Amino acid sequence: MTEQPDIACEGLVRIYTAQGVEVQALQGLDLVVQRGEMVALIGASGSGKSTLLNILSGSDTPNAGRALVAGHDLVAMRGRERLDYRRRCVGFVWQQSGRNLLPYLTARENVAMAQAVAGVIERRDRGARIEALLEQLGVAEVAEQRPAQLSGGQKQRAVALANEPSVLLADEPTGELDEATSAEVLAAMERANREHGVTTLIVTHDATVAEHVDRTVRIRDGRTSTETLRTTHTDPEGRRVRLAAEYAVLDRAGRMQLPAEYVDALELRDRVRLSLQADRIEVRPGQQAPRGDADARVGADAAVAEGEDAAATEAEDAAAAEGEETP
């Protein structure tokens, strides 16, 4: 039996209306993240990635399409189920580093509270689990400090996995951090993914985050456009080499978006020419004949048609004459 993905979105559409103007934030987006994967979703501002994250977190619902996370149907969820989903199924790392924390509680107390609210761990086991979690996330040495005394990275890591989620959603986790702290946060997320199999989706505009994952999905104009898959190989000299290959995403209707740099390099506009080869499809710039050439071609076609009509008339006259002479 094939294992179901932890995140499966199909044809997601989200339309916002502001002052009578409709804005399509998502325009039929498809996305699949397998269980235990760590994926980065990147895109420019306004591409739809924050809207997608709001839907996956249970904070928003799409106008159309399907969205499943860890077996939960996010479109059909209502009331209590949605609340339980947010408490037990998903963990969050926000760009605002202190968003998950109560300022008057220590790091340890914040973790304990998150576990108690989620109810995923028996009371007698929580103490040991809290200590193990604080150690794993690299914040054990500041466990008795309050959020105001913690660094941005320590705040983000403190309770991200406290509810032992199936899926971890990270919204611009490095947006407010320096390079060294960003590396610490990403390393902690990698450990959680590797050691506990937590499916992780990092939504970011920071291209450097992509180097920490094996798959990067680019979103553009409310749709997934390309994916970059990374693999690690050992070269003949024994060095580990990181290789990347980019792919266009083909949706169920057979549509795909060409990378913007390809379109600009070949000056592709309006229409393109396609040709099917034995093992590939070739895309070439479309050619539109100048107006003068088009007029000349139309005139030539008309002359040919006129000549054909004249020849047909002569043939009919000859046949008629031959018929009259025959007794």
189-233: pLDDT as tens digits: 888 788 778 899 998 877 777 778 889 999 998 999 999 998 888
Q: Residue 257 pLDDT more than 70?
A: yes
Query: What is the pLDDT of the chain when averaged over all its residues?
Result: 78
What domains are there in the chain, each with its CATH number? 36-56+80-252 (3.40.50.300)
In 279-291, which positions are buried (b, 16+ CB within 10 angstroms) versus exposed (e)?
A: eeeeeeeeeeeee
Q: pLDDT tens digits for 263-319?
A: 899 989 888 999 999 999 999 988 654 444 444 444 445 444 454 454 444 544 544
Cα torsion angle, 146, 152, 155, 158, sign: negative
Which of 283, 205, 257, 268 lies closest to 29, judged by CA? 257
Q: pLDDT tens digits for 142-178?
A: 777 777 777 666 666 656 666 778 898 988 887 767 7
State the amino acid at position 121 in one-letter form.
Answer: I
Q: Residue 320 pLDDT more than 50?
A: no
Check residue 227 and give its pLDDT. 92
Query: Are 160 and 80 contacting, i.e. CB atoms less than 8 angstroms apart?
Result: no
